[in-house]
């Protein structure tokens, strides 16, 4: 193998390794940002597979973490939920079901 071929092979190896590192970093960033999305009540209920009425009941009973938005005296409360918190809550419910 001459010097030009050795240089080309080394260059291709470095580029391939750099591309793989960039791909992994982008994937991790995407997963993190997706998991930390903030959901409205309808999206959160859909994510959990329950009705919004059940979700509001869980909030009123302080059984699920939520972020109240708007006026506290409102007749129609609005809540926001972090997807990562909902996923953790679901795992906790799953664990409780087998204890």
Are residues 61 and 83 both part of a single domain?
yes
In total, how many domains does the chain have? 2
Are residues 49 and 65 both part of a single domain?
yes
Give average pLDDT by consecutive 10-residue segment, the chain, 99 residues.
83 90 81 77 96 94 92 80 93 88
The two three-digit tokens of residue 85, written as one number:
């918190």
Are residues 26 and 45 both part of a single domain?
no
State how far the Cα of 11 lies from the Cα of 31, in Å rounded to an integer: 30
pLDDT given at position 49: 96
The two three-digit tokens of residue 7, written as one number:
């240089």
CATH of the domain at 43: 1.10.10
Are residues 17 and 47 both part of a single domain?
no
Range of the domain at 81: 38-96
Are residues 25 and 62 both part of a single domain?
no
Q: Say what the pTM is.
A: 0.62
pLDDT given at position 5: 87
Q: Which residues is 69 bridged to in the sheet?
A: 78
Q: How far apart are the first and last CA of the chain?
A: 65
In whole angstroms, how large is the CA radius of gyration of the chain? 23
The two three-digit tokens of residue 32, written as one number:
């993190």
Are residues 53 and 25 both part of a single domain?
no
């Amino acid at each position: 193998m001459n010097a030009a071929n050795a240089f080309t092979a080394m260059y291709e190896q470095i580029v391939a390794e750099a591309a793989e590192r960039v791909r992994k970093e982008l994937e991790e960033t995407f997963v993190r940002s997706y998991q930390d999305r903030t959901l409205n009540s309808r999206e959160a209920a859909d994510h959990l597979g329950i009705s919004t009425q059940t979700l509001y009941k869980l909030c009123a009973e302080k059984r699920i973490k939520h972020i109240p938005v708007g006026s506290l005296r409102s007749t129609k409360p609005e809540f926001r939920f972090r997807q990562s918190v909902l996923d953790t809550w679901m795992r906790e419910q799953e664990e409780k079901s087998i204890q």
